[in-house]
């Protein structure tokens, strides 16, 4: 497969959007927010308990999808006839558990912040260790703001999750304290960030009309790894470190918080 230039990538996205009636919901990728060392975003996770955390078993395939220089995750069928479980290539045969996170990013504006739906493919440890440790400390994560900070670059990149002091002048503003997950509705992070076996088969045999229905998933949003590749960025690294800050714990529990009484939608993966 030929690599896709960024210009070509944008053309493809425009075509997909047009094909989808222009109703595409804006979805952002973490590499847009955390492009370099020191970048950070303030986020709100929709996860209320460990029951909201679900993993996906995927195979990593390289050289099948356009712009997948670093590989693309293809979801295991979970059945004995999964073609990738039966691959002769040991690297492809190997399954990995991934967590497909979605959350709200607060993009600062002159009047406050714009709430942006964001998806992120993470190794399972992000949820199994980092998010669950935060749940032990804070319980329902949807009541809090966290800062995700990127440090380092290339293979030395790591992401720290730090609780935000919600009593501070900036983060005690209603735009931050009001719990609003509207922008996440209908967004399936797993389907956005990984491919189905049908899409894999079609990528192998693009002229095979029998599998074309699977491209419906393609119309939703761009693929993050295509963006990575088009921008010449290194693959995101897998290390996550939770920075424990017990002193901020009491601060974030102050009753300055405004909680949307309609309650959060529970997002399952
Ligand atoms: Zn499999």
pLDDT digits 0-9 by tens, 6-35: 666 566 555 555 444 444 678 999 999 999
Ligand 1 geometric centre to CA of 94 (Å): 8
Ligand 1 geometric centre to CA of 228 (Å): 25
Ligand 1 geometric centre to CA of 79 (Å): 7
Ligand 1 geometric centre to CA of 26 (Å): 31
Ligand 1 geometric centre to CA of 196 (Å): 11
Query: pLDDT by residue (tens digit) across 189-232?
Result: 999 999 999 999 999 888 765 544 444 444 344 444 444 444 44
From CA 122, how far away is CA 150, in angstroms rounded?
Answer: 14
From CA 227, how far away is CA 235, in angstroms rounded?
Answer: 10
Ligand 1 geometric centre to CA of 199 (Å): 14
Domain boundaries, the chain: 6-268
Q: Which helix (H) or strand (E) holds 93?
A: helix 90-93
Q: How confident is the model at residue 249 (pLDDT cuts 50, 70, 90)?
A: very low
Six-digit token pair at 77?
């069928």
From CA 37, how far away is CA 237, in angstroms rounded?
Answer: 13
Ligand 1 geometric centre to CA of 63 (Å): 18
- Phi/psi-derived region of residue 63, left when phi > 0, alpha when psi is between -120 and 50, beta in every other case: left
Neighbouring C-beta atoms of residue 126, cutoff 10 Å:
22
pLDDT score at 205: 87
Ligand 1 geometric centre to CA of 58 (Å): 7
Ligand 1 geometric centre to CA of 204 (Å): 16
Query: pLDDT by residue (tens digit) across 98-134?
Result: 999 999 999 999 989 999 999 999 999 999 899 999 9
Ligand 1 geometric centre to CA of 89 (Å): 12
Q: Which of 103, 122, 111 is nearest to 44 (CA)?
A: 103
Strand pairing class (112-123; 28-29): parallel
Q: SS3 of 73, please?
A: strand
Neighbouring C-beta atoms of residue 120, cutoff 10 Å:
24
pLDDT score at 194: 96
From CA 132, how far away is CA 141, in angstroms rounded?
Answer: 10
pLDDT score at 1: 36
From CA 1, how far away is CA 204, in angstroms rounded?
Answer: 10
From CA 50, how far away is CA 88, in angstroms rounded?
Answer: 36
Tell me the percentage of the chain whose pLDDT exceeds 70: 68
55 touches 124 (CB < 8 A): yes
Q: Which of 155, 138, 109, 126 is nearest to 248 (CA)?
A: 138
From CA 49, how far away is CA 122, in angstroms rounded?
Answer: 18
Question: What is the rounded average pLDDT of the residues 43-56?
Answer: 95
Ligand 1 geometric centre to CA of 47 (Å): 27
Span of 14-28, 57-71, 80-94, 205-219 with lowest mean pLDDT? 205-219
From CA 64, how far away is CA 80, in angstroms rounded?
Answer: 22
Ligand 1 geometric centre to CA of 91 (Å): 12
Ligand 1 geometric centre to CA of 74 (Å): 8
Ligand 1 geometric centre to CA of 128 (Å): 21
Ligand 1 geometric centre to CA of 61 (Å): 11
Task: Report the mean per-residue pLDDT for the chain.
Answer: 79
Q: How confident is the model at residue 88 (pLDDT cuts 50, 70, 90)?
A: very high
């Amino acid at each position: 497969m030929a690599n896709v230039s960024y210009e070509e990538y944008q053309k493809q996205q425009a075509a997909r959007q047009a094909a989808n009636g222009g109703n595409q919901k804006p979805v952002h990728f973490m590499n847009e927010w955390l492009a370099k060392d020191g970048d950070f975003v303030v986020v709100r996770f929709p996860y209320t308990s460990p029951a909201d955390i679900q993993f996906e078993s995927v195979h990593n395939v390289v050289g099948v999808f356009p712009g997948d220089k670093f590989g693309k995750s293809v979801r295991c069928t979970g059945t004995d006839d999964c073609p990738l479980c039966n691959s002769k290539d040991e690297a492809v045969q190997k399954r990995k558990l991934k967590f497909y996170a979605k959350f709200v990013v607060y993009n600062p504006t002159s009047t406050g912040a714009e709430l942006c739906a964001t998806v992120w493919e993470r190794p399972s440890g992000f949820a199994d260790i980092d998010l669950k440790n935060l749940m032990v400390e804070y319980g329902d994560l949807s009541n809090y703001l966290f800062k995700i900070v990127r440090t380092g670059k290339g293979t030395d990149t790591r992401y720290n999750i730090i609780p935000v002091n919600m009593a501070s002048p900036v983060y005690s503003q209603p735009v931050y304290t009001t719990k609003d997950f509207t922008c996440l509705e209908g967004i399936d992070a797993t389907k956005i960030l990984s491919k189905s076996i049908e899409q894999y088969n079609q990528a192998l045999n693009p002229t095979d009309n029998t599998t074309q229905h699977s491209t419906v998933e393609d119309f939703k949003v761009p693929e993050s790894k295509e963006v990575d590749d088009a921008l010449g960025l290194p693959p995101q690294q897998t290390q996550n470190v939770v920075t424990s800050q017990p002193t901020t714990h009491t601060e974030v529990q102050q009753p300055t918080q405004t909680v949307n009484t309609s309650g959060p939608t529970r997002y399952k993966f």
